[in-house]
Amino acid sequence: MASEVRGVVAMAKGEPVSLVTVVVPEPGPGEALVQVQSCGVCHTDLHYREGGISDEFPFLLGHEAAGVVEAVGPDVVSVQPGDFVVLNWRAVCGECRACKRGRPWYCFNTHNATQNMTLSDGTPLAPALGIGAFAEKTLVASGQCTKVNPAARPEAVGLLGCGVMAGLGSAMLTGEVGTGDSVAVFGCGGVGCAAIAGAQLVGAATVIAVDLDAGKLELARQFGATDVVDASRQDVVAAVRALTGGFGADVCIEAVGDPTVMEQAFYARDLAGTLVQVGVPTPYMRIDLPMIDFFGRGGQLRPSWYGDCLPSRDFPMLVDLYLQGRLDLDRFVTETIALEDVEEAFHRMGRGEVLRSVVMM
């Protein structure tokens, strides 16, 4: 029988979100029904509400979640009822050209649930990033459930489902930061702070945090930044070069999604260095660089989509590092809130007051 639960829905472009009844079907083939325990409030949820992702309203928001599997479809063997899972939006297909070439973290055909969750009048809901976890229960593809150690706090490890994984992966996977490297991270919100934590975790010797906000720079230090650059008062490129022997950083990570910041990161990079873009731009942004500089400086420019993570490989490992005290995921949780508080959490996020507000069910 379908479940009726409370969920946070964006009904129309730009309107405040509503807490409404959501009908969640029993899991069919390839699906899992999850009792959501925690779900972080991410900028992407706000982008959905503002119509910046698509026009397929109404959206069931929420996608940085942890919970317990309640039921699975008849053919599902990867998870079973009672499993503690972190939800992901990269349930790889195993069949597409990326998967077949052994690069499933680029999977071009990731799985979501096939049945719709609906409003009580039957209107189908589009779940944010195929998850929709600002709800007491959600229906996902079984591959979107990654089983992790149940000793972990859901409000902390659920954040691996999106922004924190994107940041960690931008340094550890896309940027391939290694022991002794110098790294500069541009933008110290949740994703940027995770990039700093990731760079520190894999042994970067110098980790430079760049932001316009002194409070965020202080937070960046807590995540392991060795140096900070206040972009409201300093020439960013000159400052990063000065902190790296006059050369620039081996890896620069753009975690804002802004053309000006992208250009700073491009030039703050050492020759043959790597520039990673993990900040999400809008469709109207353009970059304009002298082609001779692109060629002449060498190295690599690499977009990082979800940190190039493979959830089945990376989530359990990162949760273990968290439980060993080597990766501070608790620090990302600024506050825990109720489902009723999501709209207010969007405002706090907009004012830059929080790394993450996390809804607890």
- Residues found near Zn ion in the complex (CB under 5 A): 42, 44, 92-93, 96, 99, 107, 109, 162-163
Minimum distance from residue 64 beta carbon to Zn ion (Å):
5
48 — phi, psi (to 5°)?
-60, -50
Shorter beta-carbon distance to Zn ion: residue 101 or 286: 101
Beta bridge partners of 146: 86
> What's 290-340 look like in SS3?
CHHHHHHCCCEEEECCHHHCCHHHHHHHHHHHHHCCCCCCHHHEEEEECHH
Minimum distance from residue 190 beta carbon to Zn ion (Å):
9
140 Cβ contact list (under 8 Å, min separation 6): 31, 32, 34, 87, 91, 112, 113, 130, 131
Minimum distance from residue 44 beta carbon to Zn ion (Å):
4
Minimum distance from residue 349 beta carbon to Zn ion (Å):
11
Shorter beta-carbon distance to Zn ion: residue 111 or 269: 111
Closest of 265, 305, 321 to residue 106, by C-alpha: 305
Shorter beta-carbon distance to Zn ion: residue 188 or 240: 188
Minimum distance from residue 189 beta carbon to Zn ion (Å):
11
Shorter beta-carbon distance to Zn ion: residue 34 or 42: 42
**d(C-alpha 214, C-alpha 231), whole Å:** 9
H helix or E strand, kind and range, residue 166: helix 163-169
Helices (H), 234-277: 236-242, 259-267
How far are the Cα atoms of 16, 19, 182, 346 from residue 341, in angstroms, in the given order?
11, 10, 40, 9
What is the residue type of 269? R
Minimum distance from residue 299 beta carbon to Zn ion (Å):
28
Closest of 98, 161, 171, 94 to residue 130, by C-alpha: 161
Minimum distance from residue 356 beta carbon to Zn ion (Å):
10
How far are the Cα atoms of 147, 148, 164, 175 from residue 107, in angstroms, in the given order?
20, 22, 20, 19
Minimum distance from residue 1 beta carbon to Zn ion (Å):
31
129 Cβ contact list (under 8 Å, min separation 6): 44, 63, 89, 162
How far are the Cα atoms of 18, 123, 126, 129 from residue 11, in angstroms, in the given order?
7, 11, 11, 16
Q: Which residue has the tokens 């008849």?
A: 74
Minimum distance from residue 244 beta carbon to Zn ion (Å):
31
Shorter beta-carbon distance to Zn ion: residue 91 or 209: 91
Shorter beta-carbon distance to Zn ion: residue 17 or 92: 92
Minimum distance from residue 233 beta carbon to Zn ion (Å):
31
Shorter beta-carbon distance to Zn ion: residue 81 or 94: 94
**d(C-alpha 101, C-alpha 325), whole Å:** 35
